[in-house]
Amino acid sequence: MYRDRFKISINHGDESLVAYALVLMMFFVTYMSSLSILVISSRMALQAIQICAFLLYLCYKPYKKHCDIRKRQFNIFVLFILLQVLHGFILYRDNDLIYAVTFCAFFIVAGTDTKWQVPLIKVLGFMGIVYALSTLILIPLKTLYINHIAPIYTGTYSRLLEWYSQGHYPGITDHYSTNGMMLINGLLFFVSALFYNYKNNINIKKYKGIFCFLLMFVALIMCGKRAHLLFGVIAFILGYFVYTSNEKNRYFKYFGIICALLVLLIFGYYFIPAINSVVSRFFDMGEDVSILGRYEFWDAALRAFDDNRIFGIGWFGFRTIVAPTVFYTGHAHNVYIQLLCETGIVGFSVIMISFAYFLYKGYRALYYVAHNKNIIRRNMQILVLFAFMYQIYFLLYCATGNPLYDVYVFPVYFASCSISTLYSNCFKERAES
């Protein structure tokens, strides 16, 4: 009786085509601008489509609140981010305001709504396959890439050719780093599904999942982003560690997973020249100009923080004021240092506490799933596992990249926080009752 009631109370079985369409529009018309630019070149038009999708989402209300728990803590975090972004916009007139406003508004509204969750991760998986295939297909087709794909991105054309010649393969994106972000999103989804199918002996889906995993794993290696690869692997291991926390002999399984990944890398290193060059670069980080150059950004950000310790210089302040002083127009490539610079001790403390809170919620939700697999739906298990692993990946990536400021990453992180908090609260309520 308890099992049936539990399954019905949190239901994902009736996703509609409309829900998929709205999620696709809202998240990926702008989130996946590398593809959308092939059809729509206007940034303003993309933003307008995103806003329309959000408004349609509000109007489309056959949604049922499957779990009537308001995530006030999550709302406070999102509202704080929104206020910081608005403050930065007032100071610096940065044009990324629309992205932050739309996604913050969406996740406040979606606090008790589950309809968008399954479409989100499925679209992530599907697009991961698209980017993986495009990456691998375009590697041997150099002429096709140079004459037809790279010219699409007129602003980065010369850099794309340079990266391609160096073994950094952007696929159909405007940057090999962007390609890595798209691949890791899909990879985490298929890893989540693969873990579930493996534990439940679903052979057909298991083999499909293995194929998709290998496809995106090899593509991720080939795109040349070491951070995405390393942080993704750590997220896999930690996710599986918690997901199997109630099982015997799990340490032997962890060892087997690590060995399998090492075997794949070793095989590729000795038999696939392109992978050989990527692996070689992985161990040459100390000589990497991009790594060494980041020390300048971090030092400049910390100097700005010294002059504005309490409240910082304002959101977007680094790339508007600080970055030009080090001949760089972007972010600090370290979210934690940049937060200190832009939001000061006050903002940094609030956001760090929020990061820790959502990670704890993700851990609690996954821990509950691990000990109650027999009463929890497949989709729900995959969602919770994906959300936890994505948070791990995001927080690690914050040490070397700009995910909190990156439209390709932060919407999915917000979604992961929302999923983790919702199910953690729901599971707690069910356990207490």
pLDDT computed for residue 431 by the predictor: 73
Residue 70 has pLDDT above 50, yes or no: no
User: pLDDT tens across 71-106, in order?
Assistant: 445 566 777 777 777 777 777 666 566 666 666 666
Residue 214: band (very low, low, confident or very high) from pLDDT cuts 50, 70, 90 = confident
Residue 11: band (very low, low, confident or very high) from pLDDT cuts 50, 70, 90 = very low
Give pTM, 2 decimals: 0.84
What DSSP assignment string belongs to 206-228? HHHHHHHHHHHHHHHHHHT-HHH
Residue 373: band (very low, low, confident or very high) from pLDDT cuts 50, 70, 90 = confident
Cβ atoms of 131 and 190 closer than 8 Å: no
Query: What's the chain's Rg over C-alpha atoms?
Result: 21
Which pair of tokens denotes residue 433? 């009752």
User: pLDDT tens across 146-198, in order?
Assistant: 888 888 777 777 888 888 887 788 888 888 888 888 899 899 998 888 887 76
Domain ranges of the chain: 2-432
User: pLDDT tens across 311-357, in order?
Assistant: 888 887 887 777 777 766 678 889 999 999 988 998 899 889 989 99
User: pLDDT tens across 267-313, in order?
Assistant: 665 655 555 655 665 555 544 545 556 778 888 888 888 888 898 88
pLDDT computed for residue 348 by the predictor: 92
Residue 251: band (very low, low, confident or very high) from pLDDT cuts 50, 70, 90 = low
pLDDT computed for residue 235 by the predictor: 93
Percent of the chain exceeding pLDDT 70 equals: 64
Closest of 391, 335, 382 to residue 361, by C-alpha: 391
Angle, helices 335-371 vs 72-92, to 10°: value is 160
Q: 314: buried, middle or exposed (CB in 10 Å: 19+, 13-18, 0-12)?
A: buried
Q: What would the mean pLDDT of 426-431 be, rounded to a whole number?
A: 78
